[in-house]
């Protein structure tokens, strides 16, 4: 029996320090399952860990970031978080998952069990959820080991490639989940990246009456794709006035919901201008302005317009949300296939990372079998 496998390992802190290595196939605990990875899509966090972009390398202190309870990344670690594969082995106490099941891996594998929220039994509020491909080995490998609870069966009519980026759909879904969006809303989606394009589809699915998708110079192709996926209006903010367009589209009311998937400080600032009175601004993107992500905002707009501000993190999305997303994907109401890129074998992981980083591809796929 084979006991070694190939995996893409971040082996030391600092820029680069990633290579394909031969490592042990993980040993299963009684409640673990072993998954043969069939497809794992590359996300920007993989690229950021490879490049060691801030805040990856920033030391975390309680004073600076009191919400952070663990390091970003455990070193060494096999990268890869958007995983679809086939169960090939199960621990002795595994009951629900069977060998041969086609599963995706829930990104927040399990609550930490030790933080103040976990101690209160509020596991879905855990402050340090274990994230696959960051705090424990991920899917750029032939096999990945996860707790049974994190292996979620996906609908038969989806391919492994289509199912792999479920985490990105859940990221968009959990954003809406936290906003309590009302039907008939005008929604501005900032950023036509992977999550923004899934949010565009979801906004329509959830009953938005108008979706305005924004991007900057260089995003032209992605904006066009957004239009095909349901955006009613696309705006290139480098060339056009977002404020004028939103006001024009809403009879000078502004948008009910403005969602940021860019983390760009100027986009977040602009959100306060274009949101309506008693509207909602939702923050999913991470500003790259240091460990605290400080941005300048027009504070007075919050009280003058009675604005609500919400935030979300995908690792806190529950299994319930994952199942709802997979159901929508299985019904073809949310499509991942228009975003999929090329397939790369493990040996060409760096090409796949570069395709993602350069925006040539939205979702390059690493496929161990190739
Ligand atoms: Zn916890």
Residue 351 has pLDDT above 90, yes or no: yes
Q: Using one digit for the tens of pLDDT, what is the confidence trace for 281-328? A: 999 998 988 888 899 999 999 999 999 999 999 999 999 999 999 999
Q: How far is the CA of 18 from the centre of ligand 1 (A)?
A: 29
CA of 317 to the centre of ligand 1 (A): 14
First-to-last C-alpha distance (Å) of the chain: 21
Rg (Cα) of the chain, in Å, rounded? 20
Give me the percent of the chain exceeding a pLDDT of 90.
89
d(CA 190, CA 137): 32
Distance 338 CA to ligand 1 centre (A): 36
User: What is the whole-number distance in angstroms between the Cα of residue 135 and the centre of ligand 1?
Assistant: 14
Query: Does 70 score more than 70 pLDDT?
Result: no
Instruction: Please state, in angstroms and rounded to a whole number, the distance separating the CA atoms of residues 205 and 201.
Output: 6
For residue 119, the CA-to-ligand 1 centroid distance in Å is 7
Convert the pLDDT of each residue in 117-144 to its tens digit. 999 999 989 988 999 999 999 999 999 9
Span from the CA of 129 to the centroid of ligand 1 (angstroms): 6
Instruction: Report CA(113)–ligand 1 centroid distance (Å).
Output: 5
Q: Tens digit of pLDDT for each residue in 214-228?
A: 999 999 999 999 999
Question: In the predicted model, what is the mean pLDDT of residues 104-109?
Answer: 96
Region 231-243: mean pLDDT is 98
Q: How far is the CA of 112 from the centre of ligand 1 (A)?
A: 4
1 pLDDT more than 70: no
Rounded alpha-carbon distances, angstroms, from residue 59 to 45, 130, 288: 18, 19, 15
- The residue with tokens 């977040």 is 268
- Report the separation in Å between the CA atom of 64 and the middle of ligand 1, taken as the mean of its atom positions: 20
Average pLDDT score over residue span 140-162: 98
Cα–Cα distances (Å) from 130 to 48, 110, 136, 368, in that order, read 18, 6, 7, 24
- Quick one: pLDDT band at residue 72, thresholds 50, 70, 90? confident
pLDDT the model gives residue 62: 78
Higher pLDDT, 180 or 243: 243
- Give the mean pLDDT of 50-68: 79
pLDDT band of 275, cuts 50, 70, 90: very high
Residue 105 Cα, ligand 1 centroid: separation in angstroms?
19
CA–centroid distance, residue 143 to ligand 1 (Å): 26
331, pLDDT greater than 70: yes
Interval 86-90 mean pLDDT: 98
Q: 66: CA distance to ligand 1 center in Å?
A: 14
Give me ligand 1 centre to Cα 318, in Å: 14
Q: Report how far ligand 1's centroid is from the alpha carbon of 8 (Å).
A: 28
Centre of ligand 1 to C-alpha 131, Å, is 12
> What's the gap in Å between 243 CA and the centre of ligand 1?
41
Give distance in angstroms: CA of 72 to centre of ligand 1: 15
Q: Give SS3 for 2.
A: coil
Is the predicted pLDDT of residue 98 greater than 70, yes or no? Answer: yes
Residue 350 has pLDDT above 70, yes or no: yes
Residues 66-81 have a mean pLDDT of 85
* CA 153 / ligand 1 centre spacing (Å): 25
Q: What predicted TM-score, i.e. pTM, was given to this entire model?
A: 0.96
3-state secondary structure 75-138: CCEECCCEEEEEEEEECCCCCCCCCCCEEEECCEEECCCCCHHHHCCCHHHCCCCEEECCCECC
* Distance between Cα 128 and ligand 1 center (Å): 5
Query: Between β-strands 340-344 and 233-236, what pairing exists: parallel, antiparallel or unpaired?
Result: unpaired
pLDDT band (50, 70, 90) for residue 54 = confident
Gap from CA of 298 to ligand 1 centroid (Å): 34
Burial track 354-369 (b if 16+ CB lie within 10 A, e otherwise): bbbbeeebbbbbbbbe
Residue 67 has pLDDT above 80, yes or no: no
Measured in Å, residue 196 CA sits from the centre of ligand 1 at 29
What is the average pLDDT score of the chain?
A: 95
Q: How far is ligand 1, taken at its centre, from the CA of residue 313, in Å?
A: 14
């Amino acid at each position: 029996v084979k006991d070694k496998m190939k995996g893409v390992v971040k082996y030391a802190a600092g820029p680069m320090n990633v290579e394909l290595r031969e490592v042990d196939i993980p040993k299963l605990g009684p409640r673990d399952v072993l998954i043969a990875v069939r497809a794992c899509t590359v996300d920007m966090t993989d690229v950021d860990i490879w490049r060691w972009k801030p805040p990856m390398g920033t030391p975390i202190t309680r004073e600076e970031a009191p919400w952070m309870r663990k390091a970003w990344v455990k070193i060494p670690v096999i990268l890869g978080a958007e995983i679809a594969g086939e169960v090939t082995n199960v621990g002795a106490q595994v009951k629900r998952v069977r060998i041969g099941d086609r599963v995706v891996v829930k990104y927040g594998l399990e609550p930490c069990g030790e933080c103040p929220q976990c101690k209160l039994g509020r596991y879905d509020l855990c402050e340090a959820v274990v994230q696959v491909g960051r705090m424990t080995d991920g899917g750029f490998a032939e096999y990945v080991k996860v707790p049974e609870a994190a292996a979620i069966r996906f609908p038969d009519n989806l391919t492994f490639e289509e199912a792999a980026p479920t985490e990105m759909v859940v990221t968009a879904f959990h954003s809406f989940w936290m906003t309590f969006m009302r039907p008939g809303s005008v929604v501005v989606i900032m950023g036509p990246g992977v999550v923004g394009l899934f949010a565009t589809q979801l906004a329509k699915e959830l009953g938005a009456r108008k979706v305005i998708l924004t991007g900057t110079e260089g995003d032209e192709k992605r904006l066009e794709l957004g239009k095909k996926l349901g955006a009613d209006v696309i705006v290139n903010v480098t060339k056009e006035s977002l404020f004028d367009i939103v006001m024009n589209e809403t009879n000078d009311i502004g948008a009910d919901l403005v969602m940021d998937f860019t983390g760009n400080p100027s986009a977040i600032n602009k959100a306060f201008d274009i949101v309506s009175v008693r509207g909602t601004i939702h923050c999913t993107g991470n500003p790259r302005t240091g460990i605290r992500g400080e941005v300048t905002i027009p504070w007075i707009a919050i009280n003058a317009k009675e604005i609500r501000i919400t935030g979300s993190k995908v690792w806190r999305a529950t299994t319930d949300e994952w199942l709802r997303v997979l159901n929508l994907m299985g019904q073809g109401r949310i499509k991942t296939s228009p975003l999929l890129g090329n397939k790369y074998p493990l040996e060409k992981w760096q090409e796949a990372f570069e395709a993602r980083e350069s925006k040539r591809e939205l979702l390059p796929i690493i496929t161990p079998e190739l």
